[in-house]
């Protein structure tokens, strides 16, 4: 499998970036933007950069820990490199679907067996979803009254829907892991029903593809049960990762606001809800819904609505577009490196 260019994803992200900057000037408040940036407390920017490193670092350590269970020779520097490639492809593909295949591709280039990398990466996805679900459940319960009192009810409902989809995805893997035969029987029955009412045309082909996916899900759950300590450790690392990522918005808030009134947990919960809402949107990086939901959640936190807009742009630049830029650089460097290596390999001799 060769890496895809995903030009459309990059184009969508680039257009969204331009529109996001244009949005700040629609209200003719360029002067406020300049004043806000000048007043930003620079010391918080260093904390934000540190939190970004922690976020990416915990992701790399978690992937490395899981990969070492099935491939002890895995090198950490290779895991760090492929982690950032995964961040890049997650940003530019719908529903973050491109990160894992590209990570597996480049891990194979570094010598990691594809079976080992895919098992570790898919289990990492399950672990991340479990951790995000537990984390979001905690902050949602802790601040449920705040959201229903001061926020848009539609956004709360969307966040609950995102949480529900996350929960269904996690439960699916556990059901397959502990009740494979029953799951296969139910899925086959559902496919047969859809074929009878002509929603599905190629029944046997769909069943074959579905069985392959169910086998993969089953093997991933077997991995989880064979390495419980690694999975629990990975969940713990993910809690640290999520806390660091969600805290970025809090320090952006402290940097802009002279007299903060919102507490840390409120900002943390608001950021968690933004992630829950954006999880349902199919565009790369959930572009559009992420920015809109951020502004709607944070406009009650900032004393001036326009500051919520400015903080949104700063947050997206630091957490989304920065990952794209770093990922592009690493991908280009590695592509050239491996491309040159392939060209230097002598062709096989012919008699």
Chain segment 11-52, per-residue pLDDT in tens: 888 888 787 777 666 655 566 667 777 788 889 999 999 999
- Alpha helix locations (H) across 179-258? 180-196, 203-226, 228-256
Domain assignment present for residue 55? The answer is yes
For residue 20, the model assigns a pLDDT of: 79
Place of tokens 């989880």: 224
What is the number of domains present in the chain? 1
- The list of the chain residues with pLDDT below 70 reads 1-6, 23-33, 150-152, 176-177, 217, 220-221, 224, 339-351
- Angle between helix axes 7-26 and 76-92 (nearest 10 degrees) is 70
Domain assignment present for residue 8? The answer is no
Dump pLDDT digits (tens) for 42-53: 899 999 999 999
Measured in degrees and rounded to the nearest 5, phi and psi for residue 19 equal: -65, -35
Domain assignment present for residue 250? The answer is yes
Place of tokens 């500051």: 307
The domain in which residue 272 lies consists of 38-151+227-338
- Alpha helix locations (H) across the chain? 7-26, 30-39, 42-70, 76-92, 99-109, 114-142, 144-150, 153-178, 180-196, 203-226, 228-256, 264-278, 289-298, 305-316, 322-344
For residue 197, the model assigns a pLDDT of: 73
Per-residue tokens: 307: 């500051």
Domain assignment present for residue 46? The answer is yes
Domain assignment present for residue 242? The answer is yes
Measured in degrees and rounded to the nearest 5, phi and psi for residue 179 equal: -150, 60
Place of tokens 């592009």: 328
- Strand, helix or coil for residue 40: coil
Domain assignment present for residue 178? The answer is no
For residue 340, the model assigns a pLDDT of: 58
The rounded distance, in Å, linking the Cα atoms of 53 and 66 is 20
Dump pLDDT digits (tens) for 112-159: 888 788 778 888 888 898 898 888 888 878 887 777 776 567 777 877
Domain assignment present for residue 194? The answer is no
């Amino acid at each position: 499998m060769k890496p895809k260019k995903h030009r459309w994803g990059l184009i969508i992200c680039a257009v969204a970036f331009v529109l996001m900057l244009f949005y700040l000037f629609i209200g003719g408040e360029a002067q406020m933007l300049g004043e806000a940036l000048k007043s930003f407390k620079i010391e918080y920017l260093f904390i934000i950069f540190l939190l970004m490193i922690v976020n990416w670092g915990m992701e790399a350590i978690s992937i490395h820990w899981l990969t070492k269970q099935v491939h002890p020779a895995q090198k950490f520097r290779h895991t760090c490199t492929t982690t950032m490639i995964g961040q890049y492809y997650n940003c530019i593909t719908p529903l973050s679907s491109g990160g894992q295949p590209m990570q597996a591709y480049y891990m194979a280039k570094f010598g990691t067996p594809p079976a080992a990398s895919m098992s570790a990466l898919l289990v990492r996805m399950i672990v991340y979803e479990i951790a995000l679900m537990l984390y979001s459940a905690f902050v949602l319960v802790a601040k449920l009254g705040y959201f229903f009192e001061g926020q848009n009810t539609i956004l709360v409902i969307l966040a609950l829907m995102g949480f529900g989809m996350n929960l269904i995805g996690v439960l699916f893997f556990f059901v397959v892991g502990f009740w494979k035969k029953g799951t296969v029987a139910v899925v086959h029955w559902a496919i047969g029903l859809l074929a009878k009412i002509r929603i599905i045309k190629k029944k046997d082909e769909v069943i074959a593809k579905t069985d392959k996916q169910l086998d993969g899900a089953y093997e991933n759950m077997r991995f989880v049960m064979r390495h419980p300590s690694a999975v629990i450790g990975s969940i713990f690392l993910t809690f640290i990762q999520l806390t660091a990522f969600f805290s970025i918005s809090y320090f952006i808030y402290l940097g802009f606001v002279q007299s903060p009134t919102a507490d840390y947990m409120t900002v943390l919960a608001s950021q968690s809800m933004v992630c829950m809402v954006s999880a349902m949107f199919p565009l790369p990086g959930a572009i559009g819904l992420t920015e809109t939901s951020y502004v709607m959640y944070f406009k009650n936190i900032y004393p001036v609505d326009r500051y919520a807009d400015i903080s949104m742009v700063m947050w997206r630049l630091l957490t989304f577009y920065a990952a794209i830029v770093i990922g592009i650089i690493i991908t280009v460097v590695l592509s050239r490196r491996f491309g040159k290596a392939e060209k230097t390999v002598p062709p096989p001799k012919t008699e």
